[in-house]
Structure 1
Amino acid sequence: MTSKNIARPLALAALLGALALTGCSAPQAGSAPSSAAAPASATPSPSAASGPNGDFATAAEACAKISEQATGATLLPLSAAQGKTAELKQYEAELAATAERVPDSLKADFANLKDVAVAGVTDQTVFSSGKLQAAMAPVTEWIAANCK
């Protein structure tokens, strides 16, 4: 029964990770529609946390890091279950740092994902109750809309 309780969050994490990463792996040139695309010659503004890339130099960097950290957030309880305290603290610190760097339009949702994922380290009901899925949804939507 314990392995079944662990398998569900792991399967969910793998699925969410695959969904999050598909947004970053799509090619940017060629068949992309020109509806609301950013200008090709946009000048980078590294201190513009409120810009479309947050505190990341490029959209590609923002997409990669946000996807990576969102996926990693779903795996925090696995690290805790394996007793990897040092890794867990490192993941939590990286997640918090990324939460500070995301675009303003994503800050609240990403901070919520971080908080819910960290709570899931000690409270496994975060996964079975759907709280993690609910917290991940707006982040996944942002990735789908902005990482093409």
Structure 2
Amino acid sequence: MLPDPGVPPGPVPAPATSGQTPATGGSTSDGGTASTSSSCLTVAGALAGVSFLPLSAAVGATDSADLDKAKAAIREAMSRVPDELKPDFAKLSEVVDAMGGDLSKFDTPAFEEAVKPISAWLEKNCGG
């Protein structure tokens, strides 16, 4: 196969970036730190892991697997979230645990109250 005449021979230059990559532990291109980016991903992932609960309860879902998934997401996040969020995740865990295995016991106001400071942290530290 012949080389493309429109492409110069030789190595392809790496794309330009601003800041260091998160893998280096330095700053990211948006000025945040790699640890903040990691925390944002952890917190957002944990919230995503429980965000389906209100909908599941509203449609009358009875499968306790939804609660098990939410509890697992919270447990996993508890060891990785910033220390300032650990009490908020503990409260969220209490709200989810209070349902036992029964989504009909879902307490929307308590859930929303437990999620509120976590969502506020994401907004403040991760840009929403």
| TM-score category (smaller protein) | 0.5 to 0.7
For the pair shown, which has the larger CA radius of gyration, 1 or 2? 2
1:60 paired residue among 34, 37, 51: 37
Match of 1:111 in 2: 90
1:133 paired residue among 83, 107, 112: 112
Gapped regions of structure 1 (runs ≥ 5): 1-29, 31-39, 45-52
Aligned-residue sequence identity (percent) comes to: 27
Structure 1 residues 82, 113: closer, same or farther in 2, change over 3 A?
same
Specify which structure has the bigger relative contact order, considering alpha-carbon pairs within 8 angstroms and separated by 6 or more residues: 1
What is the aligned residue count? 96
**Retained in 1: the 8 A contact 2:42–2:81?**
no
The structure with the largest helix share of the pair is 1
Structure 1 residues 96, 104: closer, same or farther in 2, change over 3 A?
same
Match of 1:81 in 2: 61
TM-score, with structure 1 as normaliser: 0.50
The list of structure 1 runs, each at least 4 consecutive aligned residues, that deviate by more than 6 angstroms after superposition, is: 40-43
**Retained in 2: the 8 A contact 1:112–1:135?**
yes
Structure 1 residues 146, 114: closer, same or farther in 2, change over 3 A?
same
Gapped regions of structure 2 (runs ≥ 5): 1-17, 26-32
1:33-77 Cα shifts (integer Å, max 9, x gaps): xxxxxxx67974xxxxxxxx9xxx632222122112113223236
Question: Which amino acid in 2 is paired with 1:143?
Answer: L
SS at match of 1:101: coil
1:94 CA drift (Å):
2.5
TM-score, with structure 2 as normaliser: 0.57
**Retained in 2: the 8 A contact 1:76–1:117?**
no
